[in-house]
């Protein structure tokens, strides 16, 4: 019984009651509670009851192609199939276990079920990340092609002015450098697209030559996203990696510690499964879960701020283009000034696209840390 006092650690860490998978006897801890400073600051005044989303979190990204890809991956992903096969084998082992081993076997089964859940969450996040990378590459390539056309037009006009002796060589070289850099960016973007497609194929259980990405993605980088953080105890209850560590700790308290006469390899294996080792792993899992969420929420807040700044900057560049167009109509500026302004606007459009991509990636990371299905 003395070994079990550490099982109450998460309740002290998160500052609220957690629900164990198996009911444990009430034991008073002998160690003082850690300081509350380890709690995510964003959750200090969080509500005590979680409001569960009405639909899977990725549907908030408003993309039917992504929904289909995740459904396909959850059925065909190799890692999920491996985890489910292992889980099926463990279920058979539990069924065949002796009565005195049932408690340990049940705990190991619950741990394996949570391991499978972890794999499914990993695959969902990986598919989402690869998908938004692929759609980013598509949209970015279109912007870069527009930039190439603008840069080419500007270079031609500047070349004519250079021949006429109206500008110096340096001005022309700057425009030519923009063309070269844009051409390189197009090549890199194409490479990024191929990499994302290869990841999606693997995650879907297909060879790259078999995988085709349907048209779509128009609404992926549009619309408002929101995240409602949960109380720490709710997250700990939902995190399958923490619950797997919990069940393995339960299993270690039901095993017989007598290892006399066992081979050395078996003794080392029992040492890894000892309550002290499992307790340390459980403590680490709880703290890592809290750190994951705090880091993910910080990244989410940063991505929102950067998206707003990029949006404001684009509005300025677009207004500048309109101002120059009016100046051209009045005969006070040349087409060259307009091309320069349109290039600046194109760059601002790309920066906003990248900011929206980072915002979607941060949204997915936060949902992963919160272990939302």
pLDDT of residue 20: 34
Q: Which is more confident, 152 or 99?
A: 152
Query: Cβ distance 355 to 314 under 8 Å?
Result: no
Q: Which is more confident, 331 or 261?
A: 331
- Phi and psi angles of residue 8, each rounded to the nearest 5 degrees, phi first: -85, 5
pLDDT of residue 74: 96
For residue 51, pLDDT over 80 is answered with: no
Two tokens, residue 78: 């190799």
Q: Please report the domains of the chain, with CATH numbers, ordered by start residue.
A: 56-219+231-255+270-369 (1.20.1600.10)
The helix or strand, by DSSP H or E, that contains position 345, with its residue range, turns out to be helix 335-369
Which among 110, 4, 132 is positioned nearest to 58, based on CA atoms? Answer: 132
Report the 10 Å Cβ neighbour count for 21.
17
Q: Specify the residue for token string 């870069």.
A: 144
pTM of the model: 0.82
**Region of residue 97 (left: phi > 0; alpha: psi -120 to 50; beta: else):** beta
For residue 342, pLDDT over 90 is answered with: yes
With a pLDDT cut of 90, the percent of the chain lying above it is 61
* 3 state DSSP class of 19: coil
pLDDT of residue 273: 63
pLDDT of residue 351: 98
Q: Specify the residue for token string 């600046």.
A: 344
Picking from 38-47, 108-117, 308-317, 363-372, which range would have the lowest pLDDT averaged per residue? 38-47
Two tokens, residue 364: 């997915």
Can you spell out the DSSP letters for 129-162?
HHHHHHHHHHHHHHHHHHHHHHHHHHHHHHHHHH
Which among 148, 127, 18 is positioned nearest to 10, based on CA atoms? Answer: 18
* Residue 139 confidence class, pLDDT cut points 50, 70, 90: very high
For residue 47, pLDDT over 50 is answered with: no
């Amino acid at each position: 019984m003395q070994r079990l006092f550490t099982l109450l650690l998460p309740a002290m860490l998160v500052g609220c009651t957690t629900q164990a998978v198996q009911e444990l006897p009430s034991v008073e801890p002998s160690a003082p509670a850690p300081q509350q400073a380890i709690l995510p600051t964003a959750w200090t005044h969080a509500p005590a009851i979680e409001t569960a989303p009405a639909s899977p979190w990725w549907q908030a990204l408003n993309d039917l192609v992504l929904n289909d890809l995740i459904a396909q991956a959850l059925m065909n992903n190799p890692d999920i199939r491996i985890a489910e096969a292992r889980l099926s084998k463990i279920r058979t082992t539990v069924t065949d276990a002796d009565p005195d081993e049932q408690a340990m076997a049940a705990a190991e089964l619950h741990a394996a079920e949570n391991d499978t859940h972890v794999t499914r969450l990993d695959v969902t996040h990986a598919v989402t990340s690869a998908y938004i990378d692929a759609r980013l590459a598509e949209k970015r390539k279109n912007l870069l092609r527009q930039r190439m056309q603008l840069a080419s037009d500007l270079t031609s006009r500047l070349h004519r002015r250079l021949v006429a002796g109206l500008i110096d060589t340096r001005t022309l070289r700057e425009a030519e450098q923009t063309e070269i850099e844009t051409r390189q960016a197009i090549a890199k973007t194409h490479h990024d697209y191929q990499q994302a497609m290869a990841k999606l194929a693997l995650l879907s259980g297909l060879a790259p030559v078999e995988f085709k990405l349907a048209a779509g993605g128009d609404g992926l980088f549009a619309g408002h996203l929101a995240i409602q953080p949960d109380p720490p105890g709710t997250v700990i209850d939902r995190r399958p990696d923490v619950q797997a560590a919990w069940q393995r700790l339960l299993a270690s308290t039901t095993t017989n510690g007598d290892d006399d006469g066992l081979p050395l390899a078996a003794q080392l294996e029992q040492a890894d499964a000892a309550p002290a080792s499992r307790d340390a792993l459980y403590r680490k899992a709880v703290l890592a879960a809290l750190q994951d969420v705090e880091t993910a929420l910080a990244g989410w807040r940063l991505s929102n701020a950067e998206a707003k700044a990029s949006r404001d900057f684009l509005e300025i560049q677009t207004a500048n283009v309109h101002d120059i167009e009016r100046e051209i109509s009045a005969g006070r500026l040349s087409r060259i000034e307009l091309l320069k302004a349109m290039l600046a606007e194109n760059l601002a459009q790309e920066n906003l696209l990248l900011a929206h991509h980072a915002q979607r990636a941060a949204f997915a990371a936060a949902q992963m840390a919160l272990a939302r299905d």
